[in-house]
Amino acid sequence: MSAAETWRKEGVLGGRFFFSIASSEGSTTDKFCSTIARDLVDYIPRLAPHVAGAVKRHPSFMRSSLEEQFQKLVIDPIHHSQGRVILVIDALDECKSGLQRRELVEMLSTAVRGAKNLKIFMTSRPDPVIQAALGPLSIKSKLEDRLHDAFHPDNIDDIAVYIHKSLDGVLSEDKRLRLVAKANGLFIWASTACRMLNSETTLDLPESIYDRLVSVDQTGEIDDIYKLVFERVDLRSYPAMSNMLALLLAAFEPLSTDDLDDIFKNLGLKWSSRALVQNLGSVLSVDSSTNLIQFRHPTLVEYLRRCSLASAPDKPNALHLDVTKAHGQAASWCLKRLMSRTDGLKFNICQLESSFRLNRDIPNLPTRILRLIPKALRYASSHWLFHVAETDDTWRSMVKRELEQIIQAPHVLHWMEVLSFTGGVPRAMAGLRAITRHTEAEMWDKASMDQIRRFIMTFSVPIQESAPHIYISALPFTPKKSILHIEGAKRYRNTLRVTEGLEEMYSGLPSSLRGHEFGVNAVGFSPDGSQIVSGSHDNTIRLWDAVTGQAVGEPLRGHEGP
């Protein structure tokens, strides 16, 4: 039984969050607080009213800072618990952003100081950002680097037991012992080697694979074993394998075998993802219930990224991944999914009987989403903007017609419905910033893209609260000369009509940004130019949208002096 399972059985587990470099949601802190809050309700039911109360008091909490979300959704409810509450945070090093890792550690340390019954159990590979943040903290109970100490006797003994059990009857004892020594305390090396030797799809004899394993240049060098895995693939399968790995690497969350087959079909390629994954069973796995393809270890993701950055190799069996091309292929597939007449976007996609209920009050909404919004459509709605942003102009020109369609009414409004139901509004706003930052204006109607972003920003609360209010509340109040207002008025004639007070067009950046109570002593732009940050003598820091001048979230408080 794991530590988390033991604590849950004892009734002290408050929540757990597993970071994963292979997942878009699992590799950032965006969903950290909402996930922990949901677990808190599930694991400690007596705190459910307090969490629900926090959501009711702060319906726009997702727009708040990480620290504010954690305080409102987690810390405040925990104050109502008499016993200890343990939060488990696994693989923190797989959070992609160093700034987010540092922010999370510092936030948790502050929280533990303020809530004496809160305990944090955190795991991570050695990471300089995390170590620097944890190092000076006096509140930490223990900071131990044991599992990554290759020479720790526990690690070597565990690997020996694993290899002997996995390869009993496959290799002789002396050869198993040599593999133990070759692993050099690195469990992922041992587990990958054992899967290669036990593979049912290879034509090589175990003795031949063993000879190649022990002949690699350095002990415990995982890159060498990954290289060996891919070199064993039939040269005729290399184009398909490289393309598949590039797609998996470019994907913002795990793809299923069905997704990959659909992408191949969209590209006119007659490849079988199941056959490809089966041949790479030592490094890839498929979930039997969801068919999702997973990398077996983060070190594989890191190795593949290095293969994507390197120049194309001279050797025919050396791996090179074209991730830019893969983003283009994924963008094309996403746009086809969105525009599909059978499984694509449509009006009232969740078949709501009434527009009077908020999303959270709709009975069985999660079941409706799973049944009526296919997984591929949910993926496409969340990530198409980022795939378009990350590819090159050649692929963007290839999907230009589909891009022009998706940003027009009614398709763009139907897309917002999916965002409303799936909680995808914040990601869409980030995607719209990314696509305008990474691409040339002539690729599409820049004015339309900008107005869509302004529409979502302005009406983000009603859009997130209730999908029908995209049409009922948001559309009628858009500026009169905006594209969405003109097209919406033609298409949805029975909605509200606003006769006075509407602006002609979205206003530009105001001459001054108002919000601070005292003088401003520092101003700066975010690296991507999308936001402005300002610090004031009122001891707050504020974020502003650089296009509209609107405040982003609540002021950041905490400083007691300039």
For the segment 352-358, the average pLDDT, to the nearest whole number, is: 90
Using the predicted structure, report yes or no on whether residue 220 has a pLDDT greater than 60.
Answer: no
The whole-number pLDDT of residue 528 equals 65
Mark residue 468 as left, alpha or beta (left: phi above 0; alpha: psi -120 to 50; beta: remaining): alpha
Confidence of residue 7 (pLDDT cuts 50, 70, 90): very high
Residues 6+ apart with CB under 8 A from 327: 250, 387, 388, 390, 391, 395
Distance between CA 52 and CA 360 in Å, rounded? Answer: 11
Q: In whole numbers, what is the pLDDT of the chain averaged over residues?
A: 85
Q: How is the beta sheet containing 118-122 ordered, strand by strand?
A: 13-18, 85-90, 118-122
CA distance 417 to 137: 45
Is the Cβ–Cβ distance between 185 and 154 less than 8 Å?
A: no
Give the C-alpha separation, 263 to 293, whole Å: 14
Determine which of 53-62, 172-181, 397-406 has the lowest per-residue pLDDT on average.
53-62
32-43 and 48-57 helices cross at what angle (nearest 10)?
A: 140
Mean pLDDT over residues 75-96, rounded?
A: 90
Average pLDDT over residues 472-493: 85
Mean pLDDT (whole number) for 436-463: 78
How much is the pLDDT for 219? 46
* 453/457 Cα distance (integer angstroms): 6
Spatial contact of 194 and 166, defined as CB atoms under 8 Å apart = yes
User: With bands split at pLDDT 50, 70 and 90, how would you rate the model's confidence at 60?
Assistant: confident
Q: Is the pLDDT of residue 181 over 50?
A: yes
In this predicted model, what pLDDT tens digit does every residue of 21-45 receive, in sequence order?
767 788 899 899 999 999 999 999 9
For residue 25, the tally of other CB atoms under 10 A from its CB is 15
pLDDT band at 298 (very low <50, low <70, confident <90, very high): confident
Between 115 and 415, the higher pLDDT residue: 415
Contact 296, 192 (CB under 8 A): yes
Give every CB contact of residue 171 below 8 A, 6+ residues apart in sequence: 179, 197, 206, 207, 210
For residue range 116-168, list pLDDT tens digits in order. 899 999 888 767 778 777 776 655 555 555 555 545 666 788 889 999 999 99
Asked whether the beta carbons of 472 and 358 are under 8 A apart, the reply is: no
Q: What is the pLDDT of residue 12?
A: 93
Rounded Cα gap, residues 111 and 105, in angstroms: 10
Question: Has this prediction a pTM greater than 0.85?
Answer: no
Residue 523 has phi, psi (to 5 degrees) of -140, 140
Q: What is the pLDDT of residue 316?
A: 65
Model confidence at 498, in pLDDT bands (50, 70, 90)? confident
Identify the residue with better confidence: 316 or 551: 551
Q: Check: CB of residue 83 under 8 Å from CB of residue 48.
A: no
Does 358 have pLDDT greater than 60?
A: yes
531 confidence band (pLDDT: 50, 70, 90): confident
Q: Which of 81, 114, 106, 69 is nearest to 14 (CA)?
A: 81
